[in-house]
Structure 1
Amino acid sequence: MAAPNNKRPRVLVSNDDGINAPGLRELVALLARSDCCEVYVCAPSGERSAQSHAITLGRYLQCYPSEVPGAAVAFAVDGTPADAVMLALNSPVFEGVRFDLVASGINRGDNCGLHVIYSGTVGAAREAACKGVPAIALSLADHQAKQQEHYTTAASLAAALVQAMLQGLASGCAHHRRAFEAGCVVNVNFPAEAAGPTAGLALTHQGTGCVFPKFLEVTEPSGPHLAEFDEHTPALRMFRNYAGAMRADDNEGSDNWAVGSGWVSVTPLLLRQDVPLRLDVKCPVSSSAREAVAAIVGAAAQSAQLAVTGLPAKVAQ
């Protein structure tokens, strides 16, 4: 591991693909090569995709040192992505280290549209934002990217984005300060490198594209959850979740559209999930509860409708 340097900004790298994932390793290598920051790693010990913002309760978390070239210190954690970031920011694991930014990724596969909700990559970044640390989530829209060299172009751009964020924060820029005080997570999705050079970077809104599940029943199950059942479990049936129909979002300006068009999408996400209220409505229920409920639901729908960006996505059968 590299020797710590207390003069440079400190960046924590995590992910949901696991500490040995090529996307994380290439990101750490490129950040270290850029010399813009001191790099630390705290990531799940193995694959933890689609864990969203889940955390572990009711059992101990175990962590152990790991070797990640370019990192000053690295630890693997037997928990979720959010666990790893939570542990790094709130425990003696990195005692005395104050992180200036958390970078999560680079994920194998996009985290556009409604995939953001399920994403452990975004969940790790969001956990940092919950604790007041600026965060960026990074994903490559290529599920076949299984080698470290597949991430080189994306990692180079990711390192430049991290450096720009660090410079903006160090400059005292009011926009940066207010955004991250409000819990902004920068969600970045790179188009598949097989498609050729990127068109550039585009500021986008979160789309509504997603994959519908297709559950198939299995007769010879395997996996870690089998321990929860045995042959005496009544009427036990088991299913596996496969990708089904895709609901596409081709609305210009969405993250789905941008990545599909060869752009690197940059989407600011906030911790708060409510919408700006367009009406000041208070409905006493003393006279008619039904009328009051109808009025408040109508006002909520109007506020939500005014805040929606883009049109409903289409389902591709």
Structure 2
Amino acid sequence: MEGMGSRPRVMVTNDDGIDAPGLRALVRVLVSTDLYTVLVSAPHSEMSAASHSITWRHPIGVIKVEIEGATAYAVRGTPADCASLGISDLLFNGPPDLVISGINMGSNCGYHIVYSGTVAGAREPFLHGVPSLSISYDWAGGKSSVDDYKVGAEACLPIINAVLNDIRNGTYPRGAFLNIDLPTDILHHKGYKVTKQGKHMTKIGWKQVSSSTQGGKNPLTKNMQVDSVPGEEISVSSMPQEVFFTREIRSQQVSTEENDADYVAVREGYITVTPIAALSNAEIDMRSYYKEWIRHVVPSAL
């Protein structure tokens, strides 16, 4: 749809929606450098925790959106849809040089990466050979403000510029993409630290609610979004009609994992840079266990 110049083409996507302050701050910072051609292909509405889901059986709508200094489209699809469409030949006449997904409201460390639409927005281009980054901010209620997104975006510029320079020189490794997490006190961060994906996750349970009102923002899960008003307890085994449940945060998992884990470093105040790949290789001891196990299950197994 658009012809671009010779400057590096940087495409931004996210899972919080095209109007999210994190995305808008990132775009403004990128535009202000006057170094890139800035493109945006982002969800029309919030798609948090969509993971790497895609729209398959029906068309998705796209509408052009005015964002100063950028060519932007709102897509009625998932983050992976937005990234896939953005790197195709349809919106921007060919793939961008780099895709950045974020800045997400909330960190994406440890097992949360599995659920993250923000990370999926970077993983999808990576699967198709396009370099990418995902960026998340460890937002804390009562401490954080929307101004922190601008500080965080500026803190990521050295990484963004270095990646683009390596791409230009043909030295950028294609075996992983980078998942970046910004600490809550981003203005006083302790520096940059390369980490590994940890095993941390938030424990989430369920509670029964009384209303079937679909108050959620996520069109893919709108039938599961209900008012979080405690309802009268009903025995599920004797339900006279449909009843509703909603998720609730129970606790943070406590771990004694080594210090090179992503969530440990971000809580210590570092900007974490975690290489992520698409392959999910089990740990060596698990592979050894199942090699022996399968021989007992199926004697002819190799």
Match of 1:99 in 2: 96
Given that 1:141 and 1:192 are in contact with CA atoms closer than 8 Å, whether structure 2 keeps it comes out as yes
Cα distance in 1 between the residues matched to 2:44 and 2:121: 14
CA, structure 1 residues 264+292, in 2 after alignment: closer, same or farther (shift >3 Å)?
A: farther
Counterpart CA distance in 2 for 1:64 and 1:57 is: 19
Alignment of 1:105-144 (within 5 A): 105-144=102-141
Q: 1:244 deviation in Å?
A: 1.2
**Which residue in the other structure is 1:230 paired with?**
none
Q: 1:47 to 1:63 in 2, by over 3 A?
A: same
Corresponding residue for residue 231 of structure 2: none
In the TM superposition, what is the alpha-carbon distance from 1:266 to its structure 2 partner? 0.4
Q: Is the 8 A contact 1:9 1:38 kept in 2?
A: yes
Deviates more, 1:85-94 or 1:45-54: 85-94
Q: Report the 3-state secondary structure (helix = DSSP H, G, I; strand = E; otherwise coil) of the residue aligned with 1:225.
A: helix
Tell me the residue number matched to 1:28.
Answer: 27
Task: Quote the RMSD (CA, aligned, Å).
Answer: 2.8
1:163 matched to which residue of 2?
161
User: Which residue of 226, 240, 244 corresponds with 2:250?
Assistant: 244
CA-to-partner distance for each residue in 1:238-288, whole Å, 9 max, x for gaps? 1111111111345311101101100011000011112486989988x9xx7
SS of 1:241 mapped into structure 2: strand
C-alpha deviation, 1:289, in angstroms: 5.0
Structure 1 CA distance for aligned equivalents of residues 152 and 117 of structure 2: 19
Q: CA deviation at 1:45?
A: 0.6
Aligned pair 1:66/2:72, yes or no? Answer: no
| Structure 2 residue identity aligned to 1:254 | A
Question: Which residue number corresponds to residue 193 of structure 2?
Answer: 202
Deviates more, 1:141-150 or 1:273-282: 273-282
Partner of 2:180: 188
Aligned CA distance change for structure 1 residues 219 and 204 (closer, same or farther; 3 Å): same
Q: Which residue of 2 aligns with 1:264?
A: 271
TM-score by length of 2: 0.83
Please tell me whether the aligned partners of residues 207 and 249 of structure 1 are also in contact (alpha carbons under 8 angstroms): no
**CA gap 1:277/1:5 in 2 versus in 1, 3 angstroms:** same
Structure 1 residues 21, 282: CA separation in 2 closer, same or farther (over 3 Å shift)? closer
* Counterparts of 2:224 and 2:268, CA distance in 1: 42
Q: Which amino acid aligns with 2:178?
A: V
Tell whether the 8 Å contact from 1:25 to 1:69 is kept in structure 2 after alignment.
Answer: no
Could you tell me which residue of structure 2 aligns to residue 44 of structure 1?
A: 43
Contact 1:208 1:248 in 2 (8 A): no
Give the Cα separation in 1 of the matches to 2:224 and 2:275: 39
Q: Over residues 6-53 of structure 1, what are the superposed CA-to-partner deviations in whole Å (9 max), with x where a residue is unaligned?
A: 111101100000000010011011111122311100000111000000
Uncovered stretches (5+) of structure 2, i.e. residues with no partner = 215-221, 226-238
Identity, in percent, stands at 33
Residues 73-94 of structure 1: CA distance to partner in whole angstroms, max 9, x if unpaired?
1000111100111111225222
Q: Give 3-state SS (helix, strand or coil) of 1:92's partner.
A: coil
Partner of 2:83: 85
CA apart distance, 1:234 = 6.3
| 1:212 equivalent in alignment to 2:210 | no
Contact 1:34 1:159 in 2 (8 A): no
**What is the CA-CA distance between 1:196 and the residue it aligns to?**
5.1
Distance 2:106 2:129 in 1: 27
Q: Secondary structure at the match of 1:248?
A: coil
Q: Counterpart amino acid of 2:245?
A: F
Give the CA deviation at 1:69: 2.3
How far apart, CA to CA, are the structure 2 residues paired with 1:137 and 1:258?
A: 17
Map Cα deviations across residues 192-221 of structure 1 (whole Å, 9 max, x no partner): 13x750000000010111011121100113
The structural deviation recorded for 1:185 is 1.4
Q: Distance in 2 between matches of 1:276 and 1:206?
A: 13
Match of 2:236 in 1: none
- What is the count of residue pairs matched by the alignment? 277
With over 3 angstroms needed to count, the CA separation of the structure-2 counterparts of 1:132 and 1:226, relative to structure 1, is: closer
Cα pair 1:4 1:38 within 8 Å, conserved: no
